């Protein structure tokens, strides 16, 4: 079983690395290399919550897996006592799932002396489906998970969509987030238009998956061929089909395609938070890929949003990486994350 899991992890990593070179900005297109930038703001103490914490009955119970000591615990395990350093929660991006982050979480530099919880967001992986797919709802799911695991707070790291959820959680429930790490995402709008390239845009990819007649699919390779006219890139098809589960006659999508498509332009809550004066003053790391334009150091909109909402931020660039920092430059991303945590935790 361990050998099969290692092989699945190898294939997942290979697909992510291949996809990173061929998917556009919305999924990680290689852009003109930006100048390496490091910006550090003075850390301050955590802001007090604006209102008492409460969870909504609509929050879903997220699927998760815990790693500590560089190894996975059994499914359904709780956070063990005596791990030493503060726990961490890790959130994947759109059309991803917790296994995408497994290699990162098993690094001894990350989980060697702390519990790390990698999570399937709602409507992804093994987590429940829901008609609601707002960033605020997903932040509520995360707080419910912290409650279920008996954690007062945790370091929250999120990639892409997961980074939006991490930021939203920090802004709405700052007492539950001991530190924030946003991987290649900024608190700005990334609108998806109806006219986007159907073969590379998120809307187009999700539509193409929705149109695939699963009853006619005889194998994964058959699914790859059937998607080819709509999604020419083999790497993008391979990444998207990581969401296909089952076997011939029993195929299903692990992600909730219909809701994801409807929700593409409903995750941009941050302008309202800027107007409302929400601020997270805890330590925050914004990690960006030098070949990605998701976080643009020279863009006043990006930097104003980061500086205003997260005044105790650091901005770090991993050169040669696109949108998927953890897959394209795994050692660099682990080291950057570990150094940040060592610093803020006084190690």
* pLDDT at position 210: 95
* pLDDT at position 225: 97
* pLDDT at position 20: 54
Q: Over the chain (347 residues), what is each successive 10-residue block's mean pLDDT?
A: 57 57 45 35 32 55 97 94 93 95 96 97 96 93 97 97 96 97 94 69 92 96 96 90 95 96 82 87 98 95 96 97 93 98 94
* pLDDT at position 32: 31
Q: Give the global pTM.
A: 0.85
Q: What is the DSSP string of 103-163?
A: HHHTSHHHHSSS-EEEEPPTTSTTSPP-S---HHHHHHHHHHHHHHTT-S-EEEEEETHHH
From the list 79, 85, 306, the residue with the least C-alpha distance to 182 is 306
Instruction: List residues bridging with 209 in a β-sheet.
Output: none
Cβ within 8 Å of residue 299, ≥6 positions away: none
* pLDDT at position 36: 35
From the list 88, 34, 24, 89, the residue with the least C-alpha distance to 316 is 34
Phi, psi of 195 (to 5 degrees): -90, 10
């Amino acid at each position: 079983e361990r050998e099969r899991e290692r092989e699945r992890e190898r294939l997942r990593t290979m697909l992510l690395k291949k996809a990173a070179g061929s998917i556009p900005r919305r999924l990680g297109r290689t852009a003109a290399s930006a100048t390496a930038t490091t910006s550090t703001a003075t850390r301050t103490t955590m802001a007090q919550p604006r209102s008492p914490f409460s969870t909504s009955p609509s929050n879903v119970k997220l699927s998760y897996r815990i790693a500590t000591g560089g190894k996975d615990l059994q499914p359904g395990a709780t956070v063990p006592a005596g791990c030493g350093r503060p726990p961490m929660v890790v959130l994947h991006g759109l059309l991803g799932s917790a296994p995408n982050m497994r290699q990162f979480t098993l690094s001894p530099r990350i989980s060697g002396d702390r519990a790390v919880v990698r999570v399937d967001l709602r409507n992804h992986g093994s987590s429940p489906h829901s008609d609601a797919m707002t960033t605020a709802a997903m932040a509520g799911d995360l707080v419910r998970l912290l409650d279920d695991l008996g954690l007062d707070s945790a370091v929250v790291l999120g990639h892409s969509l997961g980074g939006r959820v991490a930021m939203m959680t920090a802004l709405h429930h700052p007492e539950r987030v001991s530190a924030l790490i946003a991987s290649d995402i900024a608190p700005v709008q990334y609108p998806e238009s109806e006219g986007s390239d159907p073969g590379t845009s998120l809307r187009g990819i999700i539509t193409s998956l929705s149109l695939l007649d699963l009853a006619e699919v005889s194998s994964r390779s058959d699914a790859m061929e059937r998607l080819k006219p709509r999604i020419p890139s083999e790497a993008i098809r391979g990444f998207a089909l990581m969401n296909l589960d089952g076997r011939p006659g029993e195929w299903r999508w692990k992600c909730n395609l219909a809701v994801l498509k409807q929700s593409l332009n409903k995750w941009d809550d941050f302008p309202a938070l800027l107007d409302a004066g929400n601020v997270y003053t805890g330590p925050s790391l914004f990690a960006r890929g030098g070949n990605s334009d998701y976080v643009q150091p020279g863009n006043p909109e990006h930097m104003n949003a980061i500086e205003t909402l997260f005044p105790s931020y650091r901005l770090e660039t991993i050169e040669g990486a696109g949108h998927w920092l953890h897959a394209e430059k795994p050692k660099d991303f682990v080291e950057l994350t570990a150094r940040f945590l060592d610093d803020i935790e006084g190690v």
